[in-house]
């Protein structure tokens, strides 16, 4: 990995975690055994690749996902040129946490824009593949939706480059993120929408239009229909503009859950271990408490809203009897995520 560009950034300190952060003391020996077994099978170091065309907001997005408050010294430091874009493939440790004498790390692989005008997109992807030792646990592909209503040609060709270098299977563990969706919302509000349409309806319609065009672009790039139709597409705003988008009470919580869901099975616990202290239940937290968490801890909380909670409770990925009561000091939402990650790891062992 000697060719990776070294950027000036703060190396995160190791955040210590306790077993009680994940398994309640009244959970029984069987659940403790399952959790320890899942830990032994889980990957200790996971690789997150983030890419997209130039100007897609990759650095801002990964900072938000890692919890860094805008304006602080960030894990992902933007480049020095006028476009403020990464100049070559770079890797850095974004998060570290320890549990039971093991350290779990999240390493981010950041690449320049695949279509940055230099014609080097394929070589960037080849370098990313080589230096990550072809061991990407999840791919985050960013698309700026603030400027267009359809998938531009450069995005189509960029998807083709990624698919050609990594193979169609890379999209099995990927999330396509529609960045600057808050600007899309602002554009809709400023337009003369048709009578009878509201902002939520128009926003949902345009996001669905993007999603369908992206899936068709993936299929044109050689991705099998089944894989292309299962790649999650999530809108994301800019943290400074708030955490809500039309029809979504907390977009970061939804995005983080897709990040967890789409990662390789054995990578999920490492993600949870590094993020569990940020997870907050929207039904049991006040705006003041969230602001306090941000100011005192210098991190962005992951607020899990009613929509996502309902989806978790309605799903069959976790047995219903694992839902903790609201009085459980470890939180029903955190337990759901832990149980989900454990089950996925143990199913494939």
Q: What is the mean pLDDT of the chain?
A: 79
Give the lowest-confidence range in 83-92, 180-189, 229-238, 283-292.
83-92
Measure Cα distances from 339 to 24, 204, 218, 324 in Å. 12, 31, 32, 11
Please state, for a pLDDT cut of 70, what percent of the chain lies above it: 78
Distance of CA 207 to the CA centre of its chain: 18
Pairing assessment for the beta strands 279-281 and 302-304 based on DSSP bridges? parallel
Residue range 273-301: mean pLDDT, rounded: 81
Measured CA to CA, the distance from residue 13 to residue 1 in angstroms comes to 22
Q: Which of 120-129, 174-183, 191-200, 329-338 has the highest mean pLDDT?
A: 174-183
Residues 212-225: tens digit of each pLDDT? 999 999 999 999 99
More confident residue, 76 or 217: 217
pLDDT for the residue numbered 326: 39
Tell me the average pLDDT across 14-25: 84
Higher pLDDT, 148 or 161: 161
pLDDT at residue 230, as a whole number: 94
Pick the CATH number of 15-19+43-279 from 2.60.40.10, 2.30.110.10, 3.30.1340.10, 3.40.50.300: 3.40.50.300
Place of tokens 């470890």: 330
What is the structure's pLDDT at 69?
A: 67
Reported confidence tier of residue 173, pLDDT bands at 50, 70, 90: very high
Compute the distance between CA of residue 48 and CA of residue 172 in angstroms, rounded to an integer: 14
Q: Please say whether the dihedral angle defined by the alpha carbons of residues 236, 338, 67 and 4, taken in this order, is positive or negative.
A: negative
pLDDT at 124: 84
Contact 120, 127 (CB under 8 A): no
- The answer to whether the CB of 331 falls within 8 A of the CB of 279 is yes
| CA 302 vs CA 127, 130, 270, 299, 306: distances in Å | 32, 33, 16, 10, 13
Q: What percent of the chain has pLDDT over 90?
A: 31
pLDDT attached to residue 348: 65
The yes-or-no verdict on residue 228 having pLDDT over 60 is: yes
Alpha helices in the chain (DSSP H): 29-41, 58-66, 121-131, 153-166, 181-190, 199-220, 225-230, 251-262, 268-275, 287-297, 306-314, 332-347
| 283 vs 2, residue with greater confidence | 283
Q: Judge whether residue 278 has pLDDT over 80.
A: yes
Residue 15 to residue 335: CA distance in whole angstroms: 20
For residue 43, the model assigns a pLDDT of 94
Identify the DSSP state of 245.
Answer: B
Q: Which of 26-30, 75-79, 176-180, 339-343 has the lowest mean pLDDT?
A: 75-79
Top-ranked range on mean pLDDT: pick from 73-77, 85-89, 92-96: 92-96
Instruction: Give the DSSP letter string of 64-117.
Output: HHHTBPTTS--SS---SSTT----S-EEEEEEEEEETTEEEEEEEEE---TTSS
CA distance 332 to 323: 6
Evaluate if residue 316 carries a pLDDT over 80. Answer: no
């Amino acid at each position: 990995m000697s060719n990776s560009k070294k950027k000036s950034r703060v190396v995160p300190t190791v955040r210590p975690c306790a077993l009680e952060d994940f398994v309640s003391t009244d959970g029984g020996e069987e659940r403790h055994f399952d959790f320890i077994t899942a830990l032994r099978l889980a990957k200790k170091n996971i690789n997150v690749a983030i890419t997209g065309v130039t100007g897609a907001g990759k650095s801002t997005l990964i900072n938000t996902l890692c919890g860094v408050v805008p304006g602080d010294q960030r894990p992902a430091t933007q480049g020095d040129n006028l476009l403020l874009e990464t100049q070559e493939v770079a890797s850095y440790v974004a998060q570290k946490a320890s549990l039971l004498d093991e350290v779990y790390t999240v390493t981010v692989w950041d690449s320049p824009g695949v279509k940055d005008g230099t014609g080097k997109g394929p070589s960037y992807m080849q370098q990313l593949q080589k230096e990550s030792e072809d061991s990407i646990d999840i791919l985050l592909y960013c698309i700026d939706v603030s400027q267009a209503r359809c998938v531009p040609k450069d995005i189509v060709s960029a998807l083709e480059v990624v698919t050609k270098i990594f193979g169609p299977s890379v999209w099995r563990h990927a999330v396509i993120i529609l960045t600057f969706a808050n600007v899309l919302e602002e554009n809709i509000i400023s337009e003369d929408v048709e009578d009878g349409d509201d902002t939520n309806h128009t926003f949902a319609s345009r996001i669905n239009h993007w999603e369908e065009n992206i899936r068709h672009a993936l299929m044109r790039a050689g991705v099998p229909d089944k894989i292309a139709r299962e790649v999650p597409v999530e809108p994301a705003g800019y943290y400074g503009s708030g955490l809500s988008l039309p029809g979504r009470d907390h977009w970061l919580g939804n995005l983080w859950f897709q990040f967890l869901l789409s990662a390789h099975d054995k990578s999920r616990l490492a993600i949870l271990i590094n993020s569990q202290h940020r997870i907050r239940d929207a039904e049991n937290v006040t705006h003041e408490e969230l602001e306090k968490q941000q100011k005192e801890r210098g991190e962005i909380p992951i607020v899990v809203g009613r929509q996502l909670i309902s989806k978790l409770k309605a799903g069959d990925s976790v047995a219903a009897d694992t839902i903790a009561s609201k009085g459980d000091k470890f939180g029903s939402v955190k337990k759901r995520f832990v149980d989900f990650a454990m089950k996925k790891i143990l199913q494939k062992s």
